[in-house]
Amino acid sequence: DTQMTQSPSSLSASVGDRVTITCRASQGIRNYLAWFQQKPGKAPKSLIYAASNLQSGVPSKFSGSGSGTDFTLTISSLQPEDSATYYCQQYNTYPLTFGGGTKVEIK
């Protein structure tokens, strides 16, 4: 199985900060990488697919990059509504696997 490792596991940042979350795959996954946002008690929301493509309706403050084994999700200007847990996921091979999540809090 392809293991997905996210870092950090949690972070606290101020409104307006630029935030970057890293996701590393245990083997190359080309660009078959997605990012999801989950708020407490809610279903996950799809943010990005194919490493860097925004899902419809997702604000442009979210961006993704990377290929192969190393990927990043960036929030350009953190807002209170961005407080959530973010997950990466590889869909290059079965079984699909998720990272452990990064909890983003507002200072």
Partner 1 sequence: EVQLVESGGDLVQPGGSLRLSCAASGFTFSDHYMDWVRQAPGKGLEWVGRIRKKAQSYSTEYAASVTGRFTISRDDSENSLYLQMNSLKIEDTAVYYCVRVYSSSYHDSWGQGTLVTVSS
Q: b/e per residue, 46-70, with b = 16+ CB within 10 A?
A: ebbbebbebeeebeeebbbebeebe
User: Looking at 54, 67, 98, 106, which residue binds partner 1 (CB under 8 A)?
Assistant: 98
Q: What share of the chain is helix, strand, coil (3-state, %, to 5)?
A: 5, 50, 45
- Compare residues 16 and 95 and give the one whose CB is closer to partner 1: 95
Residue from 19, 21, 23, 32 in contact with partner 1 (CB under 8 A) = 32
96 binds partner 1 (CB under 8 A): yes
Chain centroid offset of residue 78 CA: 14
Give the binding range for partner 1 (CB under 8 A) out of 17-25, 45-53, 59-67, 70-78: 45-53
Residues near partner 1, by CB under 8 A: 32, 34, 36, 38, 43-46, 49-50, 55, 87, 89, 91, 94-101
